[in-house]
Amino acid sequence: MASPGVEVELLVRGQSELGEVAPEIKASERQAAVAIADLEWREMEGDDCELQYGDGPNEAQDSDFPTVERSRLQEMLSLLGLETYQVQKLGLQDALQISSDSMRNWAPQAPKDLPWNFLRKLQALSAEARNTTMVLDVPSDARPVEKESQMEEEVIYWDTVDDISADIYSFSELPTPDTPVNPLDLLCALLLSSDGFLQQEIVLRMSLCQFALPLVLPDSENHSHTFLLWAMRGIVRTWWAQPLRGVGSLREDSVVLPRAPAFAFVRMEVSSNSKSQLLNAVLSPGHRQRDCFWHRELSLGTSPREIADGLVEISWFLPSGREDLDLFPEPVAFLNLRGDIGSHWLQFKLLTEVSSAVFILTDNISKKEYKLLSSMKGSATKYYFILSPYRGKRNSNLRFLNRLTPVLRMDHSHVLVKVSSTDGARFVRRVRSIVANVARSPCRRVSVEDMAHAARKLGLKVDEDCEECQRAKDRMERITRGIKDSDAYCREELRLQGELWRKVARVEKELCQAQWAGDPADKHRAELRLRLLELRTQQSGHDPARGVQEFIAGISCPSVCERQYFLRWMEWGLAWVAQPRPRPPPETVLTLRPKPGGAGDFGEPLWPEPLGVEHFLREMGQFYEAESCLVEAGTLPASQRRFAHFPGLALELLVRGLPLELVDGSTRSPPLHWITGLLKELQVRLERRSRLVVLSALGVPGTGKSTLLNTMFGLRFATGRGRGPRGAFMQLVAVAESFSQDLGCDHILVIDSGGLIGGTLAMAGERFELEASLATLIMGLSNVTVVSLAETRDIPPAIVHAFLRLEKMGHMPNYQFVYQNVHDTSVPGPKLWERRPLLEQPAEVSRAAAQVDKQGDGLRTLADLAFCDPDKQHVWHVPGLWHGVPPMAAVSLGYSEAVFELKRCLLENIRNGLSNPNRSIQQLTELVRLL
């Protein structure tokens, strides 16, 4: 057997089975590499000289290079129009405002359009969000409203023919207004200009699009790189976990918590091979290419990076439980360092400390590279070289590789050669095999939290370490530390809920029914009011539990930022302490919704309601309800109220983007005093900008209502089995002042409801009555209602009942029926003859609902009832959400495009007055009481 040194020599000479020696690289690339190397080499000359790498002060103060007036980062921020957000960061509410651009589908025309275009497309989960193509600037009044294809595009690309003799560190050649910006520069500039909550939203949406996520954010101007732990903490993924023994199951967790083997891919000096292309190939099954990592072969991928060098990205492979799709049997993390390791030594050092193996891509190894890598002697990490040597460097490569072999504990299998003649598919299989072998062997396994710990030791800043975030975390832990069992905690600590609240809800329902029926029996109603007062007195006899008091203190904090941190920590903390739920096999869960088959498929939820922030707010609401009832009855003086400020605290959360419960999910009953108090506080808060349009979504479970609303407006309604709304939640979306006059409202109140059971008259029981009341309330409050339908096309009887009842009241909002299909993602929209049958089913459900409501007109069609004209786009076909099989599937482009068109239509209807006129908050309050 040949010695390792001889076998390495054979590989470098190009005699390996993987390919031949690469041709000479371009002269311009070599000259650029030499210019950079000359600068760095001065720091390394002489054996006694201490090695220095990275963005340290020596490099910045090099006297051989002229001082520029503005840094690269400042120039990029100015180019993108983000300079103003360096002190007061861009917030989540700024990014979610509805403006005139929300109704347009046009390409950006100047660099200042790029950040907003990126955010808009990312909100819509568009796979094209990273495209930074621009069109020639035209007057704003000539911008198209409908289609990009109506525009005459002329795309101008970066001119790569640069004068090498020019100062390579000068930033005087920044892209001109008609020049594309590198997508990674755009991402870094936007993240540096955003607060932690917008960063979190950006990273979350990038995860849904299956984009590689930023892990270390470079800031070379301040020599301060940030590890983005907080930004990634909210990402929750589901994958198939197969133990060595026993039956596999689905595991759901935040991506920052589980430990997995990590593999880093880095470049040393010049490499003819693309790391990102190689990573995408490794992550892709043979029949489908995934572009998780942006690379130079994608559209505009050759635009030069200006500020993104030093960025570390991360992506995961997550198994689905299907052997034909699972490249690895367990989760595997892949890390990618942008730029040369010599210029970003701190990031490289971090990667070597957290990775199971590091793949180094380079064309050649010289004395400088040898000295750099020999400093890693003693590292427990495995190192692999992917070489593409050019002629004339064979002997040098061989000499330094042989010297590195004992230092890095390598052998011939750690050196791969990839040149132009190499079989690409075979090479990818070889790299994938190395990854699988290392992952199977005893190796380092780390979580993102472990990576953050290593980053702190190296002196990197971790975004989660700010004082406000840590104080909020400590408060959350004081609450969750006492939660051992969620059900027991609800019974013992949240005492105003449970059976006591259900009794109150039943009495209130009887009282409401008696009033609706015009019951003349005053005695019966008086008895009900007395019973209600007794129950409310029982509730008032309790004091808020210690955990509730701590929660109230958290949302009362003077710091707005700390309040937001606290709420996010509470969401995650309560999810961590929740009891594990049984999970069915992947073929039943990794679909968008249940299979068709009638009412049986949409029965009671499979899992109990998980403990969440809404339970604490519900407890506050019940304290307020009980106290208000006693004040109305005259048994409690108004001056002795203790909880009158609760609606104001909750309203602040609504304004900051938290969904608030409108209808209790456990009883399907609206707490009237609480809702009225919230709306009064909203009136005070919004003042002159209080014109509201209410948009709601109803439908059967599993049809993607919440996901649809989140995608359209960037909202945070809970999604997924067992976590969707049980009652109804509301969120507030602001309309930009510059657009509010045109749209006709200042804010849009979006309501998301729990699923309504489909089927026929068999549903006419107590549950049907509860759902009918819920549907009537929500549709009665709404200007626009989106009805989300299952593949069976069954209209829930509760919705038909609400149609009939609201028509009698003379209230008919604008309706849009959304039909989602997981099987055919290529169908752009329904044909006219496909829309008509849906609206013309008279229906057993219509007849049944009419009988329940004691009306005789249940035989009419929905088209007659809702004034739905199939020619006017009242029925929408939305393709399936996923392109592929989760968890590695991305959101389909057809889904994001269809949702954008639906959003545009909804806003157009609001602007054109096709819905009912906008309401004042006072009118909304009266409607709540009436319905």
Q: Answer yes or no: are the C-beta atoms of 42 and 50 closer than 8 Å.
A: no
DSSP code per residue over 556-579 = T-S-HHHHHHHHHHHHHHHHHHSP
pLDDT of residue 84: 92
Tens-digit pLDDT profile for residues 863-915 = 555 445 554 557 888 888 888 888 988 888 899 999 999 999 999 988 887 65
Q: What's the pLDDT at 869?
A: 52
Question: Is 297 or 229 the better-scoring residue by pLDDT?
Answer: 229
Tokens of 327: 């490249």
Whole-number pLDDT of residue 523 = 78
Within 13 Å, how many C-alpha atoms sit on residue 763's CB side? 31
As a whole number, the mean pLDDT across the chain is: 78
Place of tokens 């106290």: 627
Task: For 499-526, write each residue's pLDDT tens digit.
Answer: 888 899 889 888 877 766 555 567 788 8
Question: What radius of gyration, in Å, describes the C-alpha atoms of the chain?
Answer: 31
Region of poorest pLDDT, from 464-468, 593-597, 645-649: 593-597
Residue 693 has pLDDT above 70, yes or no: yes
User: When comparing pLDDT for 154 and 488, which is higher?
Assistant: 488
Q: Beta 262-267 vs 357-362: how paired, if at all?
A: parallel
Report the C-alpha gap between 647 and 192 in whole angstroms.
35
Exposed/middle/buried for residue 878 (C-beta within 10 Å: 0-12, 13-18, 19+)? buried
Residue reference for tokens 């029982």: 538
pLDDT for the residue 179: 56
pTM for this model (two decimals): 0.84
Closest CA to 255 of 275, 277, 231, 276: 231
pLDDT tens per residue across span 80-109? 999 999 889 999 999 999 998 888 877 888
pLDDT band of 824, cuts 50, 70, 90: very low
- Tens digit of pLDDT for each residue in 289-328? 788 999 877 765 457 889 999 999 999 999 988 888 889 9
Which is more confident, 343 or 20?
343
- pLDDT computed for residue 102 by the predictor: 87
Q: How buried is 365 (Cβ within 10 angstroms: 0-12 exposed, 13-18 middle, 19+ buried)?
A: buried
Q: What percent of the chain has pLDDT over 90?
A: 43
Can you give the pLDDT at residue 808? 81
pLDDT value of position 5: 47
Answer whether residue 538 shows pLDDT above 80: yes
Check whether 781 has a pLDDT greater than 60. yes
Note whether 44 and 51 are within 8 A (CB). Answer: yes
Q: Please answer whether residues 769 and 130 qualify as being in contact, where contact means their C-beta atoms are separated by less than 8 angstroms.
A: no
112-131 pLDDT, tens digit each? 999 999 999 999 999 889 88
Give the residue, 68 or 189, on which the prediction is more confident: 189
pLDDT in tens, 544-582: 999 999 999 999 999 999 999 999 999 999 988 865 544
Strands 226-227 and 213-217, sheet pairing: antiparallel
> Per residue in 337-368, pLDDT tens?
999 998 999 999 999 999 999 999 998 888 88
Residues 693 and 910 sit within 8 Å (Cβ to Cβ): yes
Q: Which of 632, 649, 479 is nearest to 558 (CA)?
A: 649
Report d(CA 811, CA 482) in Å as an integer.
48
pLDDT band at residue 172 under the 50/70/90 scheme: very low
926 or 860, higher pLDDT: 926
> Closest Cα to residue 846, out of 823, 869, 863?
863
- Rounded CA separation 546/549 (Å): 5
> What is the pLDDT at residue 220?
76
Instruction: Dig out the tokens for 690 from the structure.
Output: 């209080």
Across 369-383, 599-613, 840-854, the highest mean pLDDT is recorded for 369-383
* pLDDT of residue 206 exceeding 90: yes
Q: Is the pLDDT of residue 850 over 70?
A: no
Return the DSSP state at 655: H
Is the model's pLDDT at 399 over the cut of 80? Answer: yes
Quote the CA–CA distance of 161 and 257 in Å, as a whole number. 46
Flag whether pLDDT at 795 surpasses 90: no
Higher pLDDT, 595 or 637: 637
542 falls in which pLDDT band (50, 70, 90)?
Answer: very high
Lowest model confidence (mean pLDDT) among 68-72, 290-294, 429-433:
68-72
Position 137 scores a pLDDT of 52
pLDDT at 798: 84
pLDDT higher at 165 or 716: 716
Question: Which tokens sit at 278?
Answer: 């190689």
Over residues 754-779, the mean pLDDT reads 72
pLDDT above 60 for 46? no
Q: Which of 533-537, 660-664, 796-800 has the lowest mean pLDDT?
A: 796-800
Whether the pLDDT of residue 382 is over 90: the answer is yes
pLDDT for position 914: 63
202 pLDDT band (50/70/90 cuts)?
A: very high
Least confident of 361-365, 372-376, 598-602: 598-602
> pLDDT value at position 218?
94
